[in-house]
């Protein structure tokens, strides 16, 4: 039987936070953070901005909204004004340590003197960083476990984990502490916790401005992303953060996206029955099942995707950590140290095979998107897991669903799917470009 956490404060949408005075909003963040169960607070919250400092940051925006005409201008230029958010601790915030879920990184790099690009952009949009969040050490995991700060519990089912690696960011949005949080996604680190915690999530593509200055796991696969608790806030964040003119966002050929979904039974991995039924039902509301030819073509290109992901991600992680593995061995989680060390031992043949698989995955998606607007498939084959169930087999099942979009470098909108138990899963809406008109269609009620 699941252990249900004490009721957390109801999540407030962006508009409710923007209606508060700066002092009230800062006080609300502090109160909601203080109300967290101790285990969740310790495992999710890396640093919380002091109330007075947070209020002062927000005060800068309140002065701009005194007149009606000014309010209209501020809304257009600074659509996220007054929104408190949390930042995954892979990104730098001037004056605050960046540990990336470890205990030693700040001693190696030093406390940052400059904000990361995504922090600077959010500041331009009016959002205010309320703190930093813990994660799986160096973002190397999907479950939300961390040997140093504690495994991150699901905010509503504390005997289960939140999912990771963006565990703290997802858990604190789901707990209602803030309405918005930044994460990253290499192999599913936005998609999995969004699904487990019942959130909307968005991952961008590798190589963008927002990810280049984050602490890397796998530079060619890493992406930035974010979480919100509802569709309206996701749409607001997407409009603000996806850099393009409104006219460049594209349009749908018809009234609905040309999309297919892959039914759970077609995916070749064990599914929890309730999860399979719920995902198929939710996907059928806005896409048709993929025909056999489409399914065969996609699966042929995805063959060996997990192996290709593992070789690429761990090989690049080894390169990032090469100079730290020996001197800081005792400071790493032993399992992560071993994985990063092993990443330097893949033979050239395996590396060539991984590169060929990535090319095949990208080619398969290019062919698919020549005649489709989106591809829909489950984000997870089961709801949030208990620690004992976080096995290599469970990790492989998750990667079977997440690695195709990761290897192709594609943006993905994750939408929550409720289950009869009260737990959640999610759908991945895989997109050809981050500016896809599918995003507002889904978030505005196309479902």
Nearest 5°: phi and psi at 49? -65, 135
Confidence of residue 248 (pLDDT cuts 50, 70, 90): very low
- What pLDDT shows up at residue 69? 41
* Helices 231-241/117-125 angle, 10° precision: 110
> What distance in Å separates the CA atoms of residue 275 and residue 294, rounded to the nearest whole number?
23
> What distance in Å separates the CA atoms of residue 378 and residue 210, rounded to the nearest whole number?
26
CA angle 294, 299, 302 (to 5 degrees): 130
Which of 251-260, 312-321, 385-394 has the weakest average pLDDT? Answer: 251-260
Helical H runs in 248-378? 273-284, 292-302, 305-321, 334-342, 348-369
Closest CA to 141 of 197, 188, 196, 195: 188
> What distance in Å separates the CA atoms of residue 15 and residue 13, rounded to the nearest whole number?
5
Confidence of residue 3 (pLDDT cuts 50, 70, 90): confident
> What distance in Å separates the CA atoms of residue 210 and residue 237, rounded to the nearest whole number?
14
Q: Is 409 left (phi over 0), alpha (psi -120 to 50) or beta?
A: left
Sheet bearing 128-133, strands edge to edge: 45-48, 128-133, 84-88, 180-185, 223-228, 200-203, 412-418, 424-430, 374-378, 259-261, 288-289
Which of 6-10, 149-153, 325-329 has the weakest average pLDDT? Answer: 6-10
Is residue 185 helix, strand or coil? Answer: strand
Is the model's pLDDT at 68 over the cut of 80?
A: no
- Residue 149 preceded by cis peptide, ω within 30: no
Q: What is the percentage of the chain residues whose pLDDT exceeds 90?
A: 89
Is the model's pLDDT at 362 over the cut of 80?
A: yes
Helical H runs in 146-224? 167-174, 191-197, 209-212
Confidence of residue 246 (pLDDT cuts 50, 70, 90): very low
pLDDT in tens, 19-53: 999 999 999 999 999 999 999 999 999 999 999 99
Domain at 1-291+370-447: CATH architecture:
Alpha-Beta Complex (3.90)
> What distance in Å separates the CA atoms of residue 276 and residue 270, rounded to the nearest whole number?
9
pLDDT in tens, 80-106: 999 999 999 999 999 999 999 999 999
- What pLDDT shows up at residue 409? 98
> What distance in Å separates the CA atoms of residue 146 and residue 151, rounded to the nearest whole number?
5
The position carrying tokens 């470098």 is: 409
- What pLDDT shows up at residue 363? 98
> What distance in Å separates the CA atoms of residue 435 and residue 243, rounded to the nearest whole number?
8
> What distance in Å separates the CA atoms of residue 120 and residue 115, rounded to the nearest whole number?
6
Domain ranges of the chain: 1-291+370-447
CA distances from 372 to 263, 301, 368 (A): 17, 17, 6
Is the model's pLDDT at 158 over the cut of 70?
A: yes
Pairing of strands 180-185, 223-228: antiparallel
Is residue 417 helix, strand or coil? Answer: strand
């Amino acid at each position: 039987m699941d252990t249900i956490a004490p009721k957390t404060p109801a999540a407030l949408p962006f508009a409710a936070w923007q209606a508060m005075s700066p002092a009230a909003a800062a006080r609300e963040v502090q109160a909601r953070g203080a109300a967290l169960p101790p285990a969740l607070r310790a495992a999710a919250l890396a640093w919380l901005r002091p109330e007075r400092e947070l209020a002062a940051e927000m005060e800068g925006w309140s002065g701009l909204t005194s007149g009606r005409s000014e309010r209209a201008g501020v809304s257009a230029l600074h659509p996220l004004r007054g929104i408190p958010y949390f930042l995954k601790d892979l990104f730098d915030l001037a004056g605050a340590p960046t540990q990336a879920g470890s205990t030693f990184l700040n001693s190696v790099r030093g406390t940052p003197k400059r904000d990361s690009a995504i922090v600077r952009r959010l500041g331009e949009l009016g959002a205010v960083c309320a703190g930093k969040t813990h994660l799986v050490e160096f973002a190397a995991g999907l479950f939300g476990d961390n040997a140093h700060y504690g495994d991150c519990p699901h905010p509503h089912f504390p005997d289960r984990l939140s999912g990771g690696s963006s565990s703290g960011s997802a858990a604190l949005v789901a707990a209602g502490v803030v309405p918005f949080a930044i994460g990253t996604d290499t192999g599913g680190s936005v998609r999995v916790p969004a699904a487990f915690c019942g959130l909307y999530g968005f991952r961008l593509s590798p190589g963008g401005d927002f990810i280049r200055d984050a602490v890397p796991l796998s530079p060619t696969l890493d992406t930035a992303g974010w979480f919100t608790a509802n569709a309206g806030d996701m749409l607001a964040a997407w409009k603000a953060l996806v850099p393009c003119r409104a006219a460049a966002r594209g349009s749908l050929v018809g009234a609905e996206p040309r999309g297919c979904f892959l039914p759970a039974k077609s995916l070749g991995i064990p599914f929890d029955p309730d999860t399979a039924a719920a995902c198929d039902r939710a996907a059928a509301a806005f896409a048709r099942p993929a025909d056999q030819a489409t399914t065969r073509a996609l699966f042929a290109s995805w063959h060996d995707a997990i192996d290709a992901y593992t070789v690429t991600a761990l090989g690049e992680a080894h390169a990032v950590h090469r100079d730290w593995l020996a001197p800081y061995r005792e400071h790493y989680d032993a399992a992560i140290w071993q994985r990063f060390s092993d990443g330097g031992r893949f033979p050239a043949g395996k590396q060539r095979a991984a590169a060929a698989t990535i090319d095949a995955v990208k080619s398969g998606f290019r062919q698919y998107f020549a005649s489709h607007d989106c591809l829909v498939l489950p984000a997870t084959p089961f709801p949030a897991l208990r620690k004992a169930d976080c096995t290599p087999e469970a990790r492989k099942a998750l990667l079977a669903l997440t690695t195709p979009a990761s290897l192709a470098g594609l943006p993905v909108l994750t939408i929550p799917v409720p289950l009869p138990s009260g737990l959640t899963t999610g759908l991945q809406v895989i997109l050809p470009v981050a500016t896809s008109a599918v995003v507002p269609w889904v978030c505005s009620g196309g479902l």
